[in-house]
Amino acid sequence: MSDIEKVMKINKMSAYLKQHGFASSSDEAASKAQEVFDQKLVTAEKPKEGGIKMADDEKIAKIERNFDVFKATTAQQLNSLKDDVHNVVQKMNEIIKTINELEKLKESVTTIDEDGEKQQRLAPKVIKKPKEEKPKNHPRSGNMQPGDIDLNKTFYFGKR
């Protein structure tokens, strides 16, 4: 790698570090970029040894353990959510049942206005029977009205 490419990469990295707040000044950003670049060169020049391979295996094992823990906690949370949803569905069914019962009771409620205030009372459901027709103008059961008979003309009350 030529020196020009090295300087360009360090400048680019220092601008990135300064832009994202990893360094407060240009000089500090350049020195941090130089350190990062030198560490990359050192690790790239080292041949892979058994120790590095072991470190990679340990990292993979740690990642696998973390993933297993994540799976277990996620499964536990999912089961908890399923239980919560089941409980909510049961409560909703109970609420629907109660609403249906209240709808049935609502039919038996009568509203009475007294002194401008509305009051509601539960009343038994009234079943109206059809009226029986009476024979028309029969003398014993007839259609008598209160004004049809004048008592003064029918009974004697003294002086006339």
| Model pLDDT, residue 82 | 94
**106-139 tens-digit pLDDT:** 776 666 656 555 555 555 555 666 666 655 665 5
Q: How far apart are CA 160 and CA 156, in angstroms?
A: 8
Q: How far apart are CA 11 and CA 34, in angstroms?
A: 9
> Around Cβ 11, how many Cβ atoms within 10 Å?
14
Domain ranges of the chain: 3-85
Q: How far apart are CA 59 and CA 65, in angstroms?
A: 10
In 23-159, beta strands by DSSP E: 109-114, 117-122
Residue 84 pLDDT > 90: yes
Q: How far apart are CA 7 and CA 15, in angstroms?
A: 12
Residue 78 pLDDT > 90: yes
Instruction: Pick the range with the lowest mean pLDDT from 24-28, 92-96, 135-139, 142-146.
Output: 135-139
Q: How far apart are CA 127 and CA 134, in angstroms?
A: 21
| Model pLDDT, residue 90 | 94
**DSSP 8-state code for residue 131:** P
| Model pLDDT, residue 97 | 93
User: Cβ distance 34 to 20 under 8 Å?
Assistant: no
In the chain, beta strands by DSSP E: 109-114, 117-122
pTM attached to this predicted model: 0.33
Q: Which residue has the higher pLDDT, 119 or 103?
A: 103
* Closest residue by Cα to residue 30 from 43, 11, 44, 16: 11
pLDDT band at 91 (very low <50, low <70, confident <90, very high): very high
